Amino acid sequence: MKKTVLVAGGAGYIGSHMVALLAERDYHVIVADNLCTGHREAVKGAGKLYVGDIRDRAFLDRVFGENQIDGVINFAACSLVGESVQDPLKYYGNNVAGAQSILTAMKDYGVKKMVFSSTAATYGEPEKQPIEEGDRTDPTNPYGATKLAVEGMLKWCDRAYGIHYAALRYFNAAGSNPEAGIGEDHDPESHLIPLVMKTALGQREHIGIFGEDYPTRDGTCIRDYIHVRDLAEAHLLALEHLEKTGESGIFNLGSGTGYSVREIIETARKVTGKEIPAKVEPRRGGDPSILIASNQKAAAVLGWTPKRGLGEIVADAWTWHSGHPNGYGG
């Protein structure tokens, strides 16, 4: 019999790629999303989309009551670092109370597996590169703090209720799934690769380079970009790992390779054949100079290695943005 997976936040960018992969691998997929930032059109291949808020217990009773759920993958969260600094309570409410609400329903309905969408922002300013899971966690913004708080909640729920978990700390997710016709559509958009794509499309006059005086090879920040389809595959491996072993864990999801802002723009120029004007602007507050993942643990324990490099990430992002210049809006 097909396994049923609940994807909370399945209408969002990473969540929708998860739904498409689960459907492709013959899982029965249920999506819960309040469509606050997600898009109905992004949900492809799900058995059912429940529209509602994960903090609403009556809503969760409907979702858990109507389906025999084997595992939960939780993407439902707010994820704008800048906004989290302006409005931390929104983040504690959505991300922490939201996770608490889902875990309470899982406990009540006897669902024992959770894959949780965490972030590299749990580390804050890293002690060393590449970053390993055991390194110091000291978030520099409420977004990272709320994700770290949920990781703590998961640890105690595992001990108390036997809910096993994998907390996956993403580095910089990018790319799209051209076959499924889904991609990144945030409003407002703040991430580098989609903004570079919008510049290539002529929707922006230039891409701002936030600072060129960092201690890096070309003075611009270095990040570890990971294809969203590789991320989705890691979630599935994590779910299968929990099923097989019942062993909880925290895993970095990154490529292990860093690229600078200038290198991203250069790659995008080659892929798109467009000029992509760039202008150096002041630093953006709170940006660490380098974030690169060690992905050794995910490789050793989950058997995960990313298959897609930067060229494919940028090419797939370009396919999505050039085919959907207004995102899901047309």
User: Which residues are part of the catalytic machinery?
Assistant: 143
Which lies closer to ligand UFG via its Cβ, residue 81 or residue 103?
A: 81
| Helix runs in 185-227, H state only | 192-200
Residues 6+ apart with CB under 8 A from 317: 174, 175, 176, 183, 184, 193, 194, 197
Compare residues 95 and 172 and give the one whose CB is closer to ligand UFG.
172
Cβ at position 195, least distance to ligand UFG in Å = 5
Pattern 60-89, ligand UFG, x by CB under 6 A? -------------------x-x--------
Least distance in Å: CB of 28 to ligand UFG? Answer: 29
Minimum Å gap between C-beta 210 and ligand UFG is 4
Question: Is there binding between residue 143 and ligand UFG (CB under 6 A)?
Answer: yes
Q: Which is nearer to ligand UFG, 112 or 137 (CB)?
A: 137
Q: Is residue 190 near ligand UFG by the rule CB under 6 A?
A: yes
Among 192, 228, 232, 238, binds ligand UFG (CB under 6 A): 192
Find the shortest distance in angstroms from Cβ 169 to ligand UFG: 9
Considering only residues 119, 267, 272, 319, which one is a binding residue for ligand UFG as defined by CB under 6 A?
119
Per the CB < 8 A criterion, the answer to whether 212 and 265 are in contact is no
Nearer to ligand UFG, 11 or 291 (CB): 291
Q: What angle do CA 318, 322, 327 make, to 5 degrees?
A: 100
Minimum Å gap between C-beta 139 and ligand UFG is 9
Task: Return the residue matching tokens 């294809």.
Answer: 227
Element (H, E) at 172: strand 172-174
- Please check whether residue 4 is in contact with residue 23, taking contact to mean a CB–CB distance below 8 angstroms: no
Which position has the token pair 């025999």?
A: 68
Choose which of 115, 234, 290, 291 interacts with ligand UFG (CB under 6 A): 291
* Span 245-284, contacts to ligand UFG by CB under 6 A: 261, 284
The interface with ligand UFG within residues 210-249 (CB under 6 A) comprises 210, 221, 223
Q: Which is nearer to ligand UFG, 223 or 241 (CB)?
A: 223
Q: Is 310 in the site for ligand UFG (CB under 6 A)?
A: no
Residues 41 and 324: their CA atoms lie apart, in Å, by 12
Among 25, 191, 198, 269, binds ligand UFG (CB under 6 A): 191
Question: 62 or 186, CB closer to ligand UFG?
Answer: 186
CB of 219 to ligand UFG, least distance (A): 11
User: 321 to each of 19, 127, 175, 264, how far by Cα in Å?
Assistant: 20, 36, 10, 16
Measured between alpha carbons, how far is 38 from 36 in angstroms, rounded to an integer? Answer: 6
Report the distance separating Cα 109 and Cα 68, nearest Å.
9
Helix (H) or strand (E) segment spanning residue 236: helix 228-245
Other Cβ atoms within 10 Å of 254 Cβ, number: 27
Output the CA–CA distances (angstroms, integers) from residue 272 to 34, 263, 322, in the order listed. 35, 14, 9
Which residues sit at the interface with ligand UFG, rule CB under 6 A? 79, 81, 119-121, 143, 172, 190-192, 195, 207-210, 221, 223, 261, 284, 287, 291
